[in-house]
Amino acid sequence: MKYLPLSLNHISNLKPSLIQIIKNWGLFAVLLLFVWACENKASSSQKKTLSHKGQEVIDLAITAHGQDLFENATVSFLFRDKKYSTRRSDTSYTYTRSFQDGSALIEDVLINSANFSRKKNGEPIEVSKEWTEKYSRSINSVLYFFQLPYVLNDPAVKKIDQGIKRIKDENYHQIKVSFQVENGGEDFEDEYLYWIHVNSFEVDYLAYNYITDGGGVRFRSAINKRRVDGLLIQDYINYAPANKKTPLSDLIAQFEKEALIERSRIVNSDITLLSNNHL
């Protein structure tokens, strides 16, 4: 079989169809790019909306808990035979812990969760870096949970509204909380879920996972609610699932089935709240 070269007429006949194909593919590519841009914009807008909604719910919860009172005030309480306090001003916050160790009075001070110091019977004592970190984590943990949901407005906190969840015939906002690496502390990889009542905006349940000390998962249910000078105080039953790798989203179902294991009770007493102007 002989192959004849294409004539100029053949080429000219093909050119319009080739041009049309190129035009069609070009238009298709433009349409794909437009759809992709729209989807990305919609996804970004949705994330912003969910984040904004999460922020709104947390702000309402802080007001419902009366925690606007934390600003420029000192709150103290007893927890497991130790006295804790948090004092806030416009520019800083100070945590303290004091307790008897035999005949010695131990006083710990932690400023802005970073600068730790200890006194024994009123005299400063040196503490190693390892124990400074351990004491700081312990104080931070107690004061963090006591100040929920107020501390969820720290700059490193990311809040996402995950919709309404039904728990024991009540409706709750489910808010997912994670942390930015910058200013998120050494526990920035921890994740939390908060269930905030749609009417009262009180935090009735929360769950979290953690990596330190071997890692694990916890679920807390609020009990013994009461008001102290307008501040909502609540204790918690602290639960754990049988499998410490249980996803946080599965904990509500296990809680309602009574499948969680009670680990401890978080009970605070002797709460006082004083304006810094009166100290």
| Tens of pLDDT, residues 221-271 | 999 999 999 999 999 999 999 998 899 999 999 999 999 999 999 999 999
Please indicate, yes or no, if residue 20 is contained in any of the structural domains: no
Average predicted confidence (pLDDT) for the chain = 84
Domain that holds residue 221: 144-278
Name the domain count of the chain: 1
Does some domain include residue 199? yes
Report if residue 104 sits inside a domain. no
The answer as to whether 210 is a domain residue is yes
Question: Using the 8-state DSSP alphabet, how is residue 257 labeled?
Answer: T
249 domain residue, yes or no = yes
Is 203 part of a structural domain of the chain? yes
For residue 89, pLDDT beyond 60? yes
Say how far apart CA 74 and CA 90 lie, in whole Å.
13
- pTM summary value: 0.78
Whether 97 maps to a domain, the answer reads: no
196 strand-pairing partners: 173, 203
Asked, for residue 247, whether it belongs to a domain, the answer is yes
> What average pLDDT score do residues 188-199 get?
89
- How far is 77 from 233, CA to CA, in rounded Å? 11
Q: Greater confidence, 1 or 175?
A: 175
Handedness of CA 24, 30, 35, 36 (dihedral sign): positive
Q: How far apart are CA 65 and CA 76, in angstroms?
A: 16
- Residues contacting residue 147 through CB under 8 Å, at least 6 positions apart: 67, 70, 86
3-state secondary structure of 104: strand
Cα separation, 242 vs 18, in Å, equals: 66
Instruction: Say whether pLDDT at 8 is over 50.
Output: no
